Amino acid sequence: MPLSASNRLKRSRLWMMLLLLLGGIYALASLPLCPQGQQKPPTVLASQTSTAVLEVGAAKAEILIPHWPVTVAGYGPVRANASEQTLPLYARALVLKAEGFSLSLLSLDVLMVSAGFVEELQKQVGEVLVVPVHSHSSIGGFDERWQAQVAAMGRFHAAQHQAVLEACLQAVQEARKNLQKAHFQWEESTLENMTAPRSGKQVDRRLLRLWWEGEAEGEAEAEAEKKHPPTLAQILLLSAHPTLVKATATQLNPDYPGELALLEEKAGRGLTLVWPSAVANARIVFPEATPQLFAQKLHEHLLSLAPMEASGPKAAPVEMHHARIRFSLPAMDTSRLVPTFLKGPANNLLCRGIAAEAELSVLRVGGVQLVAVPFEVSAEAALALEEAGLGRSLSIANDYLGYLETADNVDNSAGESKLQYFDKSLLGHLIQAAQAVTH
């Protein structure tokens, strides 16, 4: 039966009201509500420098899973749950201490951490640099941010948060108990035929090894150690995205960084921290790679390097510097993630819970300088940081805020720029902030 003129008018008014309502909601959602983009001068939150005899302490503590099953972090919904683990997950701590200098360096067998988590740790142990191995098959559920829960970490559970935090605290406390004088060395090598660029044309194939040798107590021991001094701890910095475990896996696994650390430790090469460098676009192409096989290949590479004689007397003074800097984040820009007409609402949605400022760290030990940022750094962005005099890149340190690309790649939607949450000025802001305190 045809609608009457009166009913047609009512229906038209209803549709018009609905459209106006939707338009109003869209207009409100598109208002620029994000706190990012309001620029302030960078602030030095902590700075310490020393040229003195260095003491080093190292220890690890297992992340004790409070209950099973747990979410496997690393991928978007729908995620697997794990009821067991292939290897223990660890927090590894290396404490550097000298006159006027104290810093705890951590490697954590997880995907990522939040600034809130690091702040909680800092309140109890002082200055720290927490660097997750970025395993996409480790424990989830301990990141309080809703974005992280949706994107990769799964629903937050206070018990899992506490388990990861307690492992970090225990590792630092144990490391401080066994401080001893140490001598610092470093070397760099190249990994051939193991990685390729996931995007772009460049990939960083360098492996940087930093290590600390202990002192012998007697003359006989000192003589024996001239060629093979004992290693207390080491840091391995390389670019290879840890995604060798299938997304459907139902066992927690620290991926190749955890396997490599255990191999090195069993070989007597000291507590081993594996840190991600320009990891954003570095894809592992080693044939038939599994975490075990790739770790074994890396271990063999390290063993093949010619042993280095001590470059100076034991317990010689070493120059050290650490600064933690707060800098303003540029405007949020999700235009590469969503259609243009959804950019405003998407910006507002993503920026909720993300502060207007972030932190970076600069660490210099001897002749090595690292710039630690809360982003997954691409090879081209890492090169830009080095050319700016900031040193080697260290990814996702002390927080996670997406990817870091060059301005050119952002302009052209190239490289890993689709996963950069902020506009193209991000890399420039970061460089300016770090240069403000390093130059």
Mean pLDDT for the stretch of residues 343-369? 89
For the chain, the structural domain boundaries read: 33-47+319-438, 52-306
Residue 227 has pLDDT above 90, yes or no: no
* Cα R_g (the chain), whole angstroms: 24
Q: Which residues pair with 103 in a beta bridge?
A: 96
Q: What's the order of all strands across the beta sheet hosting 231-238?
A: 128-132, 101-108, 90-98, 54-62, 180-190, 206-214, 231-238, 271-276
Name the residue with higher pLDDT: 429 or 223: 429
pLDDT digits (tens, 9 = 90+) for 314-350: 668 899 999 999 999 999 998 888 887 788 887 888 8
Residue 391 has pLDDT above 50, yes or no: yes
Confidence grade of residue 223 (pLDDT, cut at 50, 70, 90)? low
Quick check: 85 and 65 in contact, CB under 8 A? yes
Confidence grade of residue 27 (pLDDT, cut at 50, 70, 90)? very low
Q: What is the pLDDT of residue 17?
A: 63
Q: What is the pLDDT of residue 239?
A: 98
Residue 29 has pLDDT above 60, yes or no: no
Interatomic CA distance for residues 390 and 77, integer angstroms: 37
Interatomic CA distance for residues 329 and 401, integer angstroms: 10
Percent of the chain predicted with pLDDT > 90 = 75
- DSSP H or E run through 51: strand 43-52
Give counts: helices (H), strands (E), the chain: 11, 22
pLDDT digits (tens, 9 = 90+) for 43-100: 999 999 999 999 999 999 999 999 999 999 999 998 999 999 999 999 999 999 999 8
Residue 129 has pLDDT above 70, yes or no: yes
Quick check: 364 and 405 in contact, CB under 8 A? no
pLDDT digits (tens, 9 = 90+) for 144-176: 999 999 999 999 999 999 999 999 999 999 999
**Cβ neighbour number for residue 128 with a 10 Å cutoff:** 22
Amino acid type, 168: C
- As a whole number, the mean pLDDT across the chain is 90
DSSP letter string, 139-175 = E-S----HHHIIIII-S--HHHHHHHHHHHHHHHHHH
Quick check: 161 and 117 in contact, CB under 8 A? yes
Q: What is the pLDDT of residue 30?
A: 54
Identify the burial level of 43 via C-beta atoms within 10 angstroms of its C-beta, where 0-12 means exposed, 13-18 middle and 19 or more buried. middle
